[in-house]
Each structure stands twice: as C-alpha cells, then as structure tokens.
Chain A
Amino acid sequence: MSSVDEWKKMAVKEYGSSSVEAMNTLTSEGITLRALYTEEDLHRLPHIHSLPGIEPFMRGPRATMYTKKPWTVRQYAGFSTAEESNAFYRKALANGGQGISVAFDLATHRGYDSDHPRVKGDVGKAGVAIDSVEDMKILFQGIPLDTVSVSMTMNGAVIPVLAMYIVAAEEQGVTPEKLSGTIQNDILKEFMVRNTYIYPPKQSLQLIADIIDYTARHMPKFNSISISGYHMQEAGADSALELAYTLADGREYAKLALARGLSIDAFAPRLSFFFGMGLNFYMEIAKLRAARVLWCEIMSELGAKDPRSKTLRTHCQTSGQSLTEQDPFNNIVRTTIEAMAAIFGGTQSLHTNAFDEAVALPSELSSRIARNTQLILQEETQITKVIDPWGGSYLMETLTNNLIERAKFLMAEVDKAGGMISAIEKGIPKRNIEQAAAQKQARIDKGDDVIVGVNKYCTDAKTTFKILQINNLSVLKKQAKRLKQIKTNRDQKKVEKCLQALASYARSGKGNALSLAIEAVRVRATLGEISDALESVWGRYKAIPSSLNGIYDRIFQHDPVWENSMNRVKKFQNKHGRRPRILLAKMGQDGHDRGIKVVATGLSDAGFDVDLSPLFSMPDEIAKIAIENDVHVVGVSSQAAAHKTLIPELIKILHKKKSGDIKVICGGVIPKQDFAFLKKAGVGLIFGPATPIPTIVEKILDLIE
C-alpha cells in the first residue's frame, strides 16, 4: 500500500494542509466523507459480492432490473375537479405517462366534504376534490382500471377513498382482484411530519390493519401501503433519519399485521416504499441500496420466507424542498440530477418535479418537461443497459455500509423508546427531524450551504412563465351542487344504516372498516359522512406541539449580520417596552409546518416573542389569538394555495374587530402573480421560500416600527 502513502503525500502538499483528514467532509447524516476511497475500504464490507435479485438485494430487487423493463414513469397530479384531473391523466397517459398518481385536495385528506365550513380555502387547491363515488367515477372515466395502475396519496381518509376507488372500479365492471396500484396509507409519518391525520394513532393503525387484511384477501395486485420517507426529507430530515424512521415505520406495520393473525408472507410482498431524492447525489444512491439490505434483514427477523417479502420495492420522487423560487429554470437541472440518483439507486417508479412547483401547481409546459426528463433518461441514454452501475465502487460500497450502520443506530434509539408508536408519542423523531431542518436552514441562511440563485450567483433577470391558477370558489360551488344532488337522489335510510354500522364498528372494533365503508359508498354515503361516523366515536386527533430554540444562536455565533439583527430587536425592545411579538399561524387544512417551525426557531433566537397557532385554524380563530396576545404582527405560512381565500378574510376580521393595526404578513409557496392581489388585500410583507431569517427580522421591524 505504499502507493496510497505516496498519494497522501502529494495530496497534502497540493491541498496545503497538514493531513489528508483536512479534506474530509462531515455530512449532516454524521458520516465522514473522505476525499479518496481505495480498494482497501472494500475488505471489511459484508455485501460486496452480492448480486441483483438475490438476498440481501443490495444491488436491486430484480435480477434483470431496467434491462428488461425500465422504471415506471409515474407523475403525481391532481387539481380542482374530477373532470379536469381526468382530462389531465388521459392526456398524460397518451404522452408517455405509464401510471396514474392521484393528488387529493386537503379537504379530502382530512375527511371533510367540500361544503364543510372549515375547508372553504382548501377545496380543489393542492389536489382534486373527492366527495363521493360519483366524483371518483368521473376521475377514472375512460381509464381502464384493470390495466392502468393507480397510486393514491391518501393517509387520513384512507377508508372512504379506497372504498370509493373499489366501488368506482366495480361500477366500471372491474373486480377488486384485478386492481393494481398503491395507496399510501402510511399514518405514522403523518404524526411525525405532515400532519394530515384524522384519528388518534391507535385507531388510525387499526384502520391500516383493516386495509392490509382486506387487500391481502381480495386485492393481490394492490400495494396496501407505501411506507414513506419522502415527507420526512421534505420536512428537513437528512438521508439517515429518513432511512431509519421509514424502515422503523415499516417494521411497525408488519408487526401490526402479524398481531392481526396474518402470516407474514401473505401481506409482506404488498408492502411498498416511497423515498425522497435530494441533491446529495452519492448519499441518495447509497440510501436506496442500504434500504434494501436493511429491509431484507428486518423481514427475515420477522420470519419471512418468501423472497418477495424480503425485497424492498420503492417509488421515488425528486425533492420538492430543493426547488427554488428564484431563477426557477435551475430546478430542471436539479430534478435531473435527483432523478439520476433514484435510477442509479434502483427505484421501481419515479416522479420528477416540475420546475414551477416551488411556487405553484405544475402547468402543462412544466409537467411535460418533467415527464420528458425521465423519458430522455430511459430512451436517449444507455443508463438502463447496466444493472447497479455503481456496484463495486470503493466510495459507493463504503457509503452504503456507513448508512446501514447509521440507520441501525437510529433504529436502536427507536427500540429503546419502546417502538415507533411510543417514540412518536414521546416526540423523538419529530424533534430530530425539526432539529435537522432548522440546522440546514441556518446553514443556508449563513451561506455555508450553497444554493445557486438563492444565496450565491443570484440574478436580477426575471424569468416569466405561465402558471396554473385554480378558481377555488368555482370548484367549491360545483362540488357543493353535486353533493346536494347525491343527497337528494339516494335512499337515506340505507345510508344511515351503513353509517351506524361504521359507528358501532368504531365502538366495538369488530369487523373491517373497509368492508363496511364499501357498503356505505355503494349507497352513496359521502366521504365526510363516513369519516364523521368514525370521528363521532374516536374524536379528531390533536398533535402535541414541540418547538426548538438555540439553533441559530449556535450556527450564527459572532456573525455580524446576526448580531446586527439581535441589536435591532434590542433597540425595539428599549423603545417599546417589550420585544417584537409575532403570531405564526397556519390556516385551513394545510399541515406542512416545517417552514413555520424553522421561522419560529429563528425569530425567537433573534429575540422575538413568538406565539404559535394551533394547526388547521380558521381566520376568526387566528384573529382572536392575535388580539388577546396583542401581537404586533401575524405571520401566515401557506404551502397549499389557500392564501388567496383565507388571508384576506383574516385581514377583514381584524379590521372589523378594530384591530387593523395588527399587521399581517405571509410566506411559503406563494406565486409572484398573487403578490399584487395580496398587497391590495392589505398584506404587509410577502416572503418567498428560503428567505434568510436575518432578512425576515429586518423587514418585520421596518414594518412594525
């Protein structure tokens, strides 16, 4: 190995450091990335000689991988009404799309019919509104459900939505055993990051077990669950946290089904996964390879015999969080790199994000480019011709092993807390993810992590392109009208009988919620009614809030920009007799709270008093809190397009209550096109995604002074 020593000597000289270790990078996963890996690194690695399609599946779940059939191009889409989404799907299928992935609006996710007062800002916004089987039938009109596989991102209202899908197919003449596709059905991560839950954890898990049970008996081609790390990554988790918690969730679901008395090989082949793909290229490839090894180990420990039970099959989506509002065409490049990582990692299907998704729902142009990104990779390059092309790379094999070890450490921490459910109740994963998120944002704000066009190489050049606008009110009207029609034309007695059966199921726990919901859907019970029947017994879950501080203080120590911000806050305090006080609010059914948590951490570290609102509040509730707490300003975070309805309403209510002096500002995913509208409605400041905290501090103080 004298040659390595020779390299070390040269490298140290070239790099200008005292040792080669100076060239190391400590990743946010806590893994040390070295500048050079050599053959020596391979000696200790356990799976180096493994092969694709054979245990532990590190090199791929199938023996042939993309050489026989490349990954499925599966683009997630859905908006406004069932009619419009249906037209979109049919066009996409005609243009090279290979499967459907349905995005539902937040009202549907949270189990509300479109005419419920709490969802007036959300209907049809970030997905399609589904109230009854009639909507579902329109959604799949002209799409043969026995051949086209359907993926549905649904976790809260899983029971009515899956029931409606089954009944819509039934009325199309397709029986359940022919249905292929996936329902996300992963509630544990909702309690960790995304907050799109309805019932308490225990009852939610009961529903998941019902679905696993039902599909194992009646829907052999349908994936009963898609265990998702994607949303953890979106919420700020690094690759190791995402990997560990996703697999720990998977193990929990498997145990749940085992406790039901199902045999592991009866359901395990239908468990699928869903990972996010960020820009840390090497790490993301290693993540998928590591995930397969870990899953194989976990399933073997649980007694799986069938190799199909031990193979991890996954869908991937490029990172939405890595997209920027600034200089948005850069997003096409980012997405391409992320897509390549997913492919090199060996994904089974893939969604590539559209470049405008940082600010809006994808338009026709941006969707086409996103889809074509995958088609180019499939058909214009020779990437698909070789299985696991990174296999044997000194770096990749080492990194894969590093991630396996790191994930095992994190999973042991979950075990120590008494399993994932108990860890979630203790807030452990949520806290770790939020901490990772705040640290990442602070590094970006400081410029330690580079984002081209955001904190480096910024441009003043304006990029213009058309974005998709949803007329929320017209969708709401249409849905309300259809609901009324359905309710007048159905046999009310039959509906009531079915709903009572669901409520008594909720009380006794006897029977299967999905079977009961299918009966209810057949007689035209609505999504809201079915959810309500269960909620009337179980109640609606409220998450325990958590917050962090001290992260900005630490990362920005002695940074002049930061000290300047803190000094301005102190000056404000001396003048006004108290600190600047801000209420950070989430309104409507949008539960994405990563942004608001990071801002809360940053502002309180800068010396603000920060009030947090309950999730899912409505404008009148926010106004009451703002007035009682006597805040200087309300900051609304919007990630799901409800800002045009709910923010103006909040301002109106504040004025009506003679509290117009309380300023309203907003941030999140807000398209430039809406700025003028919001300003006119009285919004004081609008912050795009990834605005640095010191900038937010400055501008708020300018506004309230």
Chain B
Amino acid sequence: MVNLDIEKLKSGDPRTLARAITLIESQNPKHRRDSKKILKAVSQVKKSSFRISISGAPGAGKSTLIESLGLHLLEHGHKVAVLTIDPTSPISGGSILGDKIRMEKLSAQPNAFIRPSPTGLHMGGATNRTREAILLCEIAGFDIIMVETVGVGQTEYQVKDMIDAFVLAVSPLSGDSIQGMKKGILELADIVLITKADGTSKNLAEITLNDYKNSMKLIFRKDQWIPPVMAISSVDKTGIPELWISLQHFLAFKQSTGTLEKDRMRQKVIWIQDLCWEAIRERFKPKLESPRMQKKLFKLLSKDTMNPNQIADIILKQIELKR
C-alpha cells in the first residue's frame, strides 16, 4: 500500500490531504494505481459536504468572493476547502498560480484548505481528478467545498456535473454584458452575483443587476427554482450573509424537492461514464498518436485519393474500434 495514512487523512491532517491530492493528480501510471487503492480504502467512509462552484470571467472577482464567503462560513463553524483550477501555458505547460494572493486572509485560517491545481495536470481526466479531490476533502472533514473555475466555457459545463450549487460571478457591465455572455452559462447558474457593487461602479452594478434579473426571468428551469440575482461588495462588505442565506435556501429547496438526491445519483452515473471514457482514451491514445501512426497518416494523405473520413475508417478498423 502507498505511504499514506488513511486515519490521518480522516482526521483532517492538511499534509496528508495535500499529498493525497498530489497522488490522484499524478500522471504517473504507478501513482494512478496507488490512488485507486486509496479511493477504495476510503470508500466506506460516509462523509458529505455542500459543494459549491464559483465561476465567472477572469477579473469578475471570484477569488475575492471566495475569500469573503469562506471567512463568513468559518465564523459559523464550518470547515472550508477550496479547489481552484488555473490555466497553464500552452508552450511550456508551466503555470503561475496566484490564487492565494487574492485569498490571503482565508488561506491563513486553520480551518480552511485551499488547493490550486494547474489545468495542465488534468488533460483528459480533468473532471475526474477534481471529483476525486472533492471526495478526499470530504473524507478529511471539510463540510463546505468550493470549486473555482477560470473562464466561462467548457469547464463550467463539466463542473456543473459535480457540484450542488452553481454561483456565477459577473462584474458590472465590464464587457461581459448579457449580450456577450453565452446564454448557456446563465442556464447553469443557480445564483447570479453582481460583484464590485461599490464606489464608482455602484451605479453600473445596479444597472447590471436589473439586466440580469430580467434575463433570468426568461430562463425556464425544470426544477422550478428561480435563480436569485444579487449584488455584493467586498469593499463595503455587503451581500455575503445574504449570499449564504440564499445558498442554504437553495440547498433546502433541493432537499425538499428530492432533486439533491436525484442530482447526486445522476452525477455518479456521469462520473462512471467519464471514468470509462478516460480509460478508453488512455488505451487508444498511444496507438493513435504514436510516431508510426503519424507517419502512416501522412503517407495516406499524400496519396491524395482518400478524404479524412475514409482514412479514419481504415484506422479505426486497424485499432479494433470499428465504427
């Protein structure tokens, strides 16, 4: 077994939790096997949490929001874990992770655990690794877990499948006005927050608030939940208690209507499917992307007698994945 003390993990030791997350994030095949062992060993532990995602365009004030909300939750006796996903450089694959600079007070609190992860780690198995990290944080006793994603796009759809509440942060009319924002993202949001409702941008925030209130009315949700649209200010320190009340309200709503159970069940199904897809990819990736295969593809293309569709059929036949 791996050099990782499960009891210590359960007791919430930050060092052990941090190393466990490193292990599950590792791309080394041996580490992958080890992490499966750990996940198996903790599968009997039944601990749960309220999982919240915080999404929004860069500069929308997500980190500041997490800092304020996190501190508020600590005051109410919660243990808070934050997972942030940072972009990596397309050239070197390296990254600069500055999340904790913006969550300075929260990151110094003993009952808070913040783990930034570079997206580069997740190629392919992105969502699965985040799910596993959420699970590990729950095992370690964190009862509130926030997932921060940067950018508005693909990741947000994936993150929706692993959390209970989706908070969308929007800065006052800063180019991401509703026209510019993909309507799909609004459909994901369980709560919409207009940030920076202070100082010179206070008026803009009011206007933005009304815009979003109007648009959210047009969105039809199967669960009948009407997503609240609210304004917050980290400068004036307003809106955070109200946000937490709304989040609890939403959780209670999901529990009473049974959608919480249903959603979590559905999320597990997707999780299993994603794991299968990951395995399939891993199995065929080496064959499909090998230098030999590249050479072959070039050769087939250079003959100029077949189109990519026909070539794909031939390749699939060869690697035993008939269409």
Contacts and interface: CB of A to CB of B under 8 A. Distances in A.
Interface of A: 542, 544-545, 547, 549-550, 553, 566, 569, 573-579, 600-601, 603-615, 621, 624-625, 627-630, 657-659
A612 B94 contact: no
B115 A578 contact: no
A577 B21 contact: no
A575 to B, nearest CB: 7
B183 interface: no
B121 interface: yes
A574 B108 CA distance: 33
Contacts of B93: 573, 579, 607
Contacts of B173: none
Contacts of A612: 96-98, 100-101
A624 B107 contact: yes
Nearest to B237: A539
Contact of B104 (A542, A569, A579, A611): A542
Given A625-B100, A628-B113, 18 more contacts: A549-B89, A550-B89, A566-B92, A576-B26, A579-B121, A604-B95, A609-B88, A609-B94, A609-B95, A609-B97, A610-B97, A612-B98, A614-B100, A614-B107, A621-B108, A628-B14, A628-B107, A629-B97
Nearest to A621: B108
B92 A545 contact: no
Interface in B85-118: 88-89, 91-98, 100-102, 104, 107-108, 113-116, 118
A547 B94 CA distance: 13
A630 B95 contact: no
Chain B's interface size range is 35 or more
A575 B102 CA distance: 32
Interface of B: 14-15, 18-19, 21-22, 25-28, 31-32, 88-89, 91-98, 100-102, 104, 107-108, 113-116, 118, 120-121
B68 to A, nearest CB: 13
12 contacts: A553-B89, A576-B26, A578-B27, A579-B94, A603-B94, A605-B91, A609-B88, A609-B94, A611-B98, A611-B116, A625-B107, A627-B14
The 5 closest A-B pairs by CB, nearest first: A577-B28, A577-B26, A604-B94, A630-B18, A545-B101
A658 B13 CA distance: 11
Contact of A658 (B15, B26, B96): B15
A575 B30 CA distance: 10
A649 to B, nearest CB: 16
B21, B118, B121: most-surrounded residue (chain A CB, <10 A): B118
Given A547-B98, A576-B28, A577-B27, A629 B92 contact: no
B80 to A, nearest CB: 12
Contact of B21 (A544, A573, A630): A630
A659 B19 CA distance: 11
A624 B25 contact: no
Contacts of A659: 15
A610 B95 contact: yes
A600 B31 contact: no
A550 B91 contact: yes
B115 A628 contact: yes
B102 A545 contact: yes
A613 B102 CA distance: 10
A606 B94 contact: yes
A676 B143 CA distance: 46
Contacts of B120: 579, 609
Contact of B114 (A569, A604, A628): A628
B108 A553 contact: no
B118 A579 contact: yes
Contacts of B94: 549, 569, 579, 603-610
Contacts of A625: 100, 107
Contacts, number: 113
B22 A614 contact: no
A564 to B, nearest CB: 14
A278 B132 CA distance: 53
Nearest to A601: B96
Contacts of A579: 93-94, 118, 120-121
B15, B18, B31, B101: most-surrounded residue (chain A CB, <10 A): B101
Nearest to B26: A577
Contact of A578 (B14, B18, B91, B121): B121
B31, B92, B116, B118: most-surrounded residue (chain A CB, <10 A): B92
Contact of B91 (A553, A569, A576, A577): A553
Contact of B18 (A547, A549, A553, A629): A629
B94 to A, nearest CB: 4
B19 A630 contact: yes
Contacts of B114: 628
Contacts of A609: 88, 94-95, 97, 118, 120
Given A549-B89, A578-B27, A628 B101 contact: no
Contacts of B98: 545, 547, 611-612
Given A579-B118, A628-B115, A657 B97 contact: no
A630 B22 contact: yes
A576 B26 CA distance: 7
A581 B113 CA distance: 18
Contacts of A549: 89, 92, 94, 96
A431 to B, nearest CB: 13
Contacts of A547: 96, 98
Contacts of B14: 624, 627-628
A615 B116 CA distance: 18
A657 B15 contact: yes
Contacts of A658: 15
Contacts of A603: 94
A575 B28 contact: yes
A315 to B, nearest CB: 33
A627 B27 CA distance: 20
A156 B310 CA distance: 70
Contacts of B104: 542, 614
B174 to A, nearest CB: 11
B96 A600 contact: yes
B115 A629 contact: yes
A600 B107 CA distance: 21
A611 B92 CA distance: 16
A611 B18 contact: no
A621 B96 contact: no
B18 A628 contact: yes
Nearest to A566: B92
Nearest to A626: B18
Nearest to B18: A630
A31 to B, nearest CB: 30
A593 to B, nearest CB: 11
Contacts of B28: 574-577
Contacts of B31: 577
A605 B93 CA distance: 8
Nearest to A570: B93
A605 B31 CA distance: 26
Contacts of B26: 576-578
Nearest to A554: B91
Nearest to B23: A577
A617 to B, nearest CB: 8
A594 to B, nearest CB: 15
B234 to A, nearest CB: 10
Contacts of A569: 92, 94
A506 to B, nearest CB: 15
A47 B27 CA distance: 66
A565 to B, nearest CB: 10
A579 B102 CA distance: 23
A614 B94 CA distance: 20
Contacts of A657: 15
A544 B234 CA distance: 14
Contact of B92 (A544, A604, A621): A604
B95 A621 contact: no
A612 B27 CA distance: 24
A577 B95 CA distance: 16
Contacts of A553: 89, 91-92
Nearest to B113: A628
